[in-house]
Amino acid sequence: MSDSPAPAALGGLSPEESEKLQEAFKDIATRSQKLLQDFSQRYQADGQRPADPLHLTQTFMDFTAKMLADPNRLVQAQVELWQQYMKLWQVTAQRMMGQPVEPVAEPARGDKRFNDPAWRDEVVFDYLKQSYLLTARWLQGTIKEVEGVDDKTARKVDFYTRQFIDAMSPSNFAMTNPQVVKATVESKGENLLKGLQNLLSDLERGKGRLEIRQTDMDAFKVGGNVATSPGKVVYQNDIIQLIQYAPATEEVYEIPLLIVPPWINKFYILDLKPENSFIKWATEQGYTVFVVSWVNPDERLAKMSFEDYMNQGPLAALDAIEKATGQRKASAIGYCIGGTLMAATLAYMAARNDDRIVACTFFTAQVDFSEPGELGVFIDENQLANVEEMMGKKGYLEGSEMATTFNMLRANDLIWSFVVNNYLMGKDPFPFDLLYWNADATRMPAAMHSYYLRNMYQKNLLSQPGGIVLDNVPIDLRKIRIPVYIQAGKEDHIAPVRSVYKATQLFSGPVRFMLAGSGHIAGVVNPPRNKKYQHWLNETATNPPTLAEWQAGAKEFPGSWWNDWDKWLSALSGPKVPARVPGTAGLPAIEDAPGSYVKVRSGT
């Protein structure tokens, strides 16, 4: 037994609770000190870092000058806000006296921040909520009415103002969130203590950078309980592993299917679990499915170019598929940036009279970046230069940088909800395969990523005939004459439907455009068995010039669009032949699916 005296009990706590609390504080103090020391050492080693690498200060100063140039309008806006506050005060006072009242401001549909009944039932919290909503909407409305500001600056100011507004929500603070207040009282503050420990753990894992856990990262294993469809890696090079999946039918279509996913994320979004696996479902429909698994690059691949990704990606995969199956022709799917690459590849092949791809499907893919949505906010010269500077130090962009960008597009759902859950409520995040995949980010090779951002997003050269040249071939998307199926998500924040639709006006062959319910992920991964969402089709012979015109003539259908796509592709995939077993024909198996490339995590 130890001779050291037991710690003195803290007021209102039992000796056991007091000891537990003091141990927790000791642990927090030790870990905090180490984090501060590590941060100080890194800061000194890296030299003085710019305080505002994105030049947001100058952007907002210029915007403010425009706003102040019309003082009458600013005063009018302030008076309008004051009148709304007065109305809220009156309504709140009436409610406190027991009178029935209608709210002055209500959350938007789908805003989960204020779901707890206390935000509605308790007068104080209801007032906080409505006051916040009034201010937030007034601020965004006032900003949009400022004249003399160019579109890019206006979008940038609006986006970062929204980030500030989201951060300042009363739901994000311990004393103004009724759920947190209740949990703090009931647990005697243990939730905040556990939350502080969660915060320190996230800082430690990020080596001083806050990496918010969105799910239990120990609950999943690639190849264990996600990415489990059976198959073999039958080819690999420095950039890809090519997986051939085991057939699920005795006969398959003669023409195999190649899936080219984005290299910004890992391919197993299409194979999370058997119930919602697009890959598994496609094999069940009788397709011989091949999937590109991109490498998670390090500094050795810093100089890999967009052209290299074409040559060693889809083009190398087509060569391998012919060896594996004896079939020269194939159909293809390009998802997101994988679709952008596939469009460039198809134009390259058309210019060289290469007819191996007979049909192509695009999942949420942009080829005309004139209206890229909110991601365009991050594409100006100052921000691109900052990204290139970061990549220049390592030879690649860390996956966490891209993940943060995507999370900011839905900050309340993908950032602040976890701040509340993990740090204020002191809870561990729930195991969720989709969020595990979302956190399993990949790096971007410096040369390729810089080329992509500048030539696609900044200059929009892919949509212009000869705007880019790959392997000495000018790229012209209008030379693509094969049948094309384009999928877009109605609520997609990453590849907005209006931007995706522009491809219908560029390709010269027959184009079937389909609009799916939901967004960038759920709009794609929506198996028929789930009977969720809906999709729209317009059966006119040609696609009209604008999305609005297309929607005016479109018909809504319940549930998944997968069966419509299958009907379209099966007609283009040739007769049935005996099923092909991976690794038994022209290409021997290298290893079991999902392969080793997909298992390399950033930072490992």
Q: What is the mean pLDDT of the chain?
A: 88
Residue 500 structure tokens: 């995706």
9 pLDDT exceeds 60?
no
Among 521, 531, 536, 538, residue whose Cα is nearest residue 560: 531
Average pLDDT over residues 331-337: 97
50 band by pLDDT with thresholds 50, 70 and 90: very low
State the pTM of this model.
Answer: 0.86
What span, in angstroms and rounded, lies between the C-alpha atoms of 346 and 508? 12
Q: Looking up tokens 């602040």, which residue turns up?
A: 416
336 carries an active-site annotation: yes
pLDDT band at 13 (very low <50, low <70, confident <90, very high): low
Q: Give the per-residue pLDDT at 32.
A: 58
Give the amino acid at 496. P
Phi-psi region of 426 (alpha: psi -120 to 50; beta: other; left: phi over 0): left
User: pLDDT category, 497, cuts 50, 70, 90?
Assistant: very high
SS3 of the chain: helix, strand, coil, percent, to 5: 50, 10, 40
Asked whether the predicted pLDDT for residue 531 surpasses 70, the reply is: yes
Element (H, E) at 133: helix 123-144
Q: Span 105-130, mean pLDDT?
A: 92
Long-range Cβ contact pairs of 541-549 (< 8 A, separation 24 or more): 543/501, 543/504, 543/505, 543/511, 543/513, 545/505, 546/501, 547/497, 547/498, 547/501
The span from the CA of 364 to the CA of 153, in Å, is: 26
Q: Is 198 helix (H, G, I), strand (E, B) or coil?
A: helix
Q: What are phi and psi of 241, to 5 degrees?
A: -110, 140
Hey, what amino acid is at 424?
Answer: L
pLDDT at position 488 over 80: yes
Mean pLDDT confidence for 335-357: 97
pLDDT digits (tens, 9 = 90+) for 539-573: 987 899 999 999 999 999 999 999 999 999 999 99
Beta bridge mates, 333: 259, 361
pLDDT reported for residue 307? 96
pLDDT value of position 301? 94
Lowest mean pLDDT among 96-105, 458-467, 567-576: 96-105
Say which amino acid occupies 281. W
Q: Which domains does the chain have, with CATH numbers?
A: 56-172 (no CATH), 231-378+446-599 (3.40.50.1820)
Q: What is the pLDDT of residues 192-239, one digit of tens each?
A: 889 888 888 888 877 777 888 889 989 999 999 999 999 999 999 999
Round to whole Å and give the CA distance between 226 and 268.
7
Q: What is the pLDDT of residue 604?
A: 43
Do 30 and 199 contact (CB within 8 A), yes or no?
no
Q: Residue 579 has what pLDDT?
A: 97
User: Are 254 and 577 in contact, with CB atoms under 8 Å apart?
Assistant: yes
Give the phi and the psi of residue 144 in degrees, each rounded to 5: -70, -20
Give the integer Cα–Cα distance in Å for 497 and 366: 9
Q: Name the band, by pLDDT with cuts 50, 70 and 90, for residue 33.
A: low
Distances (CA, A) of 333 to 279, 338, 339, 360: 11, 8, 7, 6
168 sits in the region (left: phi over 0; alpha: psi -120 to 50; else beta) called alpha
352/561 Cα distance (integer angstroms): 33
pLDDT score recorded for residue 143 = 83
CA gap 449, 262 in Å, rounded: 12
Instruction: Using CB atoms within 10 Å of the CB of residue 393, give its burial: 0 to 12 exposed, 13 to 18 middle, 19+ buried.
Output: exposed
Residue bearing the bigger pLDDT, 98 or 246:
246
Which residue in the list 264, 336, 439, 462 is annotated as catalytic?
Answer: 336
Whether the predicted pLDDT of 389 surpasses 90: no
CB atoms under 10 Å from CB of 441, counted, come to 22
- Cβ–Cβ contacts within 10 Å for residue 442, how many? 24
Whether residue 64 has pLDDT greater than 80: no
pLDDT tens for each residue of 285-300? 999 999 999 999 999 9
Mean pLDDT of 8-12: 49
| Distant-in-sequence, close-in-space partners of 348: CB < 8 Å, separation ≥ 6 | 310, 354, 470, 471, 473, 475
Average pLDDT over residues 21-46: 59
CA 548, chain centre distance (Å): 26
Query: In DSSP terms, which residues pair with 576 in a beta bridge?
Result: 253
290/500 Cα distance (integer angstroms): 25
- In angstroms, the CA 166 to CA 22 distance is 34
Greater confidence, 434 or 208? 434
